[in-house]
Structure 1
Amino acid sequence: MRVALGQVASTSDPEQTLGLVAEAVASATEQRADLLVLPEATMARFGSRLAAVAQPLDGPWASEVRRLACRAGLAVVVGMFTPGSDGLVRNTLLATGPGLDTHYDKIHLFDAFGLRESDTVEPGRRLVTVDVAGVRVGLATCYDLRFPALFTALAEAGAQLVVVPASWGDGPGKAEQWDLLVRARALDSTSFLLACDQAEPRAAGLEPVDGAAGGIGRSTVVSPLGEVRERLGAAPGLLLADLDPEEVTAVRERLPVLRHARQAREAGLPER
């Protein structure tokens, strides 16, 4: 399975960001990727008026992404915003392509480091996995990285690979936390992990939005044993990796933490 991570720097204009999606789809298709992952908030960066840019899943933005993915014969996972209730929006991952059309709404909202995502976003309620090129793929978003149980639950639901689109806020120690968490969640779940962040705005020639999580780059491909296989820097780029799902099977035989946790639950023992 060949995967591509499209590290882009979104603006506040959904029409403009469709151009970024189209460019990434063209590049991933040229490289014969099976799956393209784009960041959280690709549709419009944080700091935008989210309620004004949010569109339903059958709206023009998502429909154009579907058209691009299906025409290319490529599975695409991309971050957008959809209308929620009571004036809120949902932080949504659209997963689309030939034979694929579903979505995941971010469960854990970023009410941390002085920001309150829950002021504008309502949380999702369900785990989501999809099948791409014969591989079960779990979906998670950014702040979800800080919650190990989500990743083990996705693995227990059959995921061999978890994709994590993000717009990881900058700040003291945040890059180190990103590096640690993406490796830890892969190791927790003994799954491949694809963490695709927004490019750092200044590295893309943009001014950051004050008080908004704008991305630091460092998109990363991690093995089921927590090894960094590939990583980008701060600037926009396309990261490619070839993954063998049999590696997940082999690691889970040698390091059967998922089976041991299940056995502990069945025996009524604490897992930790």
Structure 2
Amino acid sequence: MTETTIALAQLEIEAGDVDGNVERALEAVSSAADRGADLVALPELFTVGYFAFDLYERYAEPIEGETFTRLQEAAADHDVAVLAGTIVEDLAATESVETPAAEGLANTAALFDSSGDLELVYRKHHLFGYDSVENELLVPGERLETAEIGGFTVGVTTCYDLRFPELYRNLVDAGVDLVCVPSAWPYPRIEHWNTLSRARAIENQCYVATINGSGSFADATLLGRSTVHDPWGVAVASSGDEPTIVTAEIDPQRVTSVREEFPALRDRRL
């Protein structure tokens, strides 16, 4: 079996400290690569902080902006794939990839391979409204892309997307066997976080890696607990709520064997 080492960078995120947050992200990429990671994944809105809604417009960037460019260079320099997810994207300023709207802001992840090539862009589909103004400030994504990384077909969703299982079915139908989920999930909804991510792994018989942040904002505290669930829904690696790097050895053949042993996906009736 050929295993891939995935590293979930549970970063300390300080609201509005974009320079400091990006530096911590770059340090995590370097550290994870030194520890043998093949893929490093970052949390949702690790630059500005999810709950810093009043700063979204000020710190919005295009895909070609400084943050993604620095992480793209880090991927190539350290020979490691990087899921840079997510930042506030300025859709009007983005030039290199298709955008869902002529203007506005989006919650956007980018996946770079170990050569620094852009393999995937994902804009959050389901925008949160409960106790949040994300759905007022941002434009939802429209596309589901996949990428080949470390023997896996990788898909990306973001945080609140965990509550919408049909999105994950679409990814499985596209051949995905690893879903990475950059998130900014707060207390007190620990059981939702644990249950939903595990359910998405079980029902789709794939790996689900949830990458959460750490830190407190004016009215919310991120609960951390970044976790890798295997295709049986077993948590093979996880954390508490402090900043850390969670690593796990994952194998695409594990997905194949589970789907062959218990062929629930084959029994779907559409």
- Tell me whether the two structures share a fold, i.e. TM-score over 0.5: yes
Aligned to 1:96: 112
SS across alignment from 1:52: coil
- Aligned residue in 2 for 1:2: 5
SS in 2 for 1:107: coil
Q: Deviations over 1:203-241 (max 9, x none)?
A: xxxx4222xx55210000101011111110010001110
Contact 1:69 1:96 in 2 (8 A): yes
Q: Secondary structure at the match of 1:230?
A: strand
Contact 2:44 2:50 in 1 (8 A): no
2:50 & 2:181 partners in 1: Cα distance? Answer: 17
2 CA distance for matches of 1:242 and 1:100?
23
- Map of 1:270 onto structure 2: none
Asked if 1:231 corresponds to 2:230, the answer is no
C-alpha distance in structure 2 between counterparts of 1:119 and 1:88, whole Å: 11
Paired residues for 1:5-44 under 5 Å: 5-11=8-14, 12-44=16-48
CA positional deviation for 1:129: 1.2
Q: Which residue of 2 aligns with 1:134?
A: 151
Residue of structure 2 equivalent to 1:193: 208
Aligned partners of 1:258, 1:40: CA distance in 2, in Å? 30
Q: Find the partner of 1:71 among 77, 88, 93.
A: 77
* Unmatched runs of 5 consecutive residues or more in structure 1: 202-206, 266-272
Deviation at 1:87, TM superposition (A): 6.8
TM-aligned CA deviation for residue 86 of structure 1: 8.1
**Aligned equivalent of 2:129:** 111
1:221 aligns with 2:224: no
Where does residue 255 of structure 1 map in the other structure? 262
Match of residue 169, structure 2, among 141, 147, 152: 152
CA distance 1:134–1:86, change in 2 (3 Å): closer
- Residue 62 of structure 2 aligns to a residue in which SS? coil
Query: Quick one: which of 217, 220, 231 aligns to 1:208?
Result: 217
Alpha-carbon spacing, 1:65–1:253, altered in 2? closer, same or farther (3 Å): same
Q: Which amino acid aligns with 1:237?
A: T
Give the residue type in structure 1 aligned to 2:64: D
Could you say if the C-alpha distance between residues 68 and 232 of structure 1 is closer, same or farther in structure 2, counting changes exceeding 3 Å?
Answer: same
Q: Is the 8 A contact 2:51 2:217 kept in 1?
A: no
**CA–CA distance in 2 between the matches of 1:255 and 1:51?**
47
- CA deviation string 1:103-122 (max 9, x = no partner): 1000011112x223111111
In 2, the alpha carbon distance for the partners of 1:182 and 1:117 equals 21
How far apart, in 1, do the equivalents of 2:116 and 2:21 lie?
A: 24
1:230 alignment partner AA: A
Name the CA distance, whole Å, in 2 between partners of 1:55 and 1:214.
25
CA contact (8 A) 1:156 1:258 kept: no
The whole-number CA distance in structure 2 between the counterparts of 1:91 and 1:58 is: 15
Structure with greater proportional helix content: 1
Q: Distance in 2 between the 1:39 and 1:72 partners?
A: 19
CA spacing shift, 1:249–1:118, aligned 2, 3 Å: same
Q: % of aligned pairs identical?
A: 33
Deviation at 1:54, TM superposition (A): 0.7
Q: Matched residue of 1:215: which SS? A: strand
* Residue aligned with 1:109, SS: coil
SS of residue matched to 1:41: coil
Match in the other structure for 2:95: none
Looking at structure 2, the residues matched to 94 and 230 of structure 1 have their Cα atoms a distance apart, in angstroms, of 24
Distance 1:166 1:47 in 2: 12
Among 181, 186, 193, the alignment partner of 2:196 is: 181
SS of residue in 1 equivalent to 2:237: strand
Q: CA deviation at 1:135?
A: 1.1
Equivalence for 2:253: 246
Q: Which AA in structure 1 matches 2:217? A: P
Matched residue count? 252
